[in-house]
Amino acid sequence: MAALAVVALLALVYWVAKPPNETVTVLPSADGHIGTVVVQRGNEKQVLNQPYATTRNGDAVQVLAATDVKETFGSTIQALPARPTIFLLYFTTGTDELTEESKGDLQRILDELKQRPVPDVYVIGHTDTVGELRGNDQLSAQRADTVKGFLVGIGIPAERIQTAGRGKREPIVPTGDNVDEPKNRRVEINVR
Amino acid sequence: MRWIVAAVLFGFACAAAAEAGQVKTAAGSVYLERSGKRLPVSVGMPVEQSDTLVTGADGSAGITFTDNSLLSVGPNSVLEIQKYVFDTTTHAGQFDASLKKGTLAVISGKMVKQSPEAMRVRTPSSIMGVRGTEFVVKVD
């Protein structure tokens, strides 16, 4: 009887002190790139570097079915915030007027931004290399402010939007000075 | 006088607690433990180093960090942000998070791109090094 009590007590101690189960699974990323997770448990190391590669309690790597991963982690993955992203809008020479093409893109971008509950936005204006540094600094800041106006217009609080004008300092297409390059006349909308 | 100095210094220390990220999604019962206090979580709330995120049986939450790392937890989870430092100029930094229980999803951000050793995720028995990837962890 006493022996039974000891066994029961030991079982209880084991149950209380038993280390939790731990599962780690690598997911295929949205851009198709697969990185690596190295799981170290004591002196054991497992390297996970293919989609759905999984280690449980440091055991040898196995590849799970996507449906099993979804069943266990679906609600957790669902709770991930929207990915930070960058949108680009282009302008006509020397103005803060959008090009016809960007006017078409604007509504789609604004619709995407409306999906984000509390976006943090950083709007950066740029120019091509035509003209003086100072005039381009002003123009780039003006372009950023114009875009900020669109964002405030769809209800994003102004205090969540930062703006900057980088003038002709950061062309996306490298050119010499005084080159009329449409791709450089742009505003980047960084959203987090 | 000494107390005034101490109070002012404490004030600076508090102000210096930099924002590591922001809660972007929250559902069900979720709270943050900060300096021994329980704070109700709402979308848009700043998250700091040393905060612990706790969810109930119906809870989930997602955080976007300043280096664009994304983390989320599912129901019955406890996640501590042990350390978060990020230099927006050099993209150098350190990110240590610890999942005590529950489920966690991670999408690594800029600091891991800059230096693969920058992010570590711990569980009670393991430590994970992250090299530019998305992964999920469960402790049960």
**Chain B contact set for A41 (CB, 8 A):** 125-127
Report pLDDT digits (tens) over A114-148: 999 899 999 999 999 999 999 999 999 999 999 99
| C-alpha atoms less than 13 angstroms from C-alpha of B121 in its C-beta half-sphere | 32
Contact B52, B32 (CB under 8 A): yes
Q: For the whole model, what pTM was predicted?
A: 0.84
Picking from B99, B103, B136 by the largest number of A CB atoms within 10 A of its own CB, the best residue to mutate is: B136
Q: Is the pLDDT of residue A69 over 60?
A: yes
Model confidence band, residue A33 (pLDDT cutoffs 50, 70, 90): confident
Pairing of strands B37-40, B46-48: unpaired
Question: What ranges make up the beta strands (E) of chain A?
Answer: 22-27, 36-41, 44-48, 53-56, 62-63, 85-90, 121-125, 161-165, 186-191
| The pLDDT of residue B18 | 80
A-chain residue closest to B60, CA distance: A79
Q: Considering only residues 8 to 27 of chain A, which have any Cβ-Cβ distance to chain B shorter than 8 Å?
A: 19-27
B-chain residue closest to A49, CA distance: B133
Report pLDDT digits (tens) over B93-116: 999 999 999 999 999 999 999 998
Picking from A37, A54, A64, A190 by the largest number of B CB atoms within 10 A of its own CB, the best residue to mutate is: A37
**Cβ-defined contact of B136 to A76 (cutoff 8 Å):** yes
Share of chain A above pLDDT 70, in %: 95
Average pLDDT of the segment spanning A107-120: 93
Domains of chain A: 20-79 (no CATH), 85-191 (3.30.1330.60)
- The ipTM is 0.87
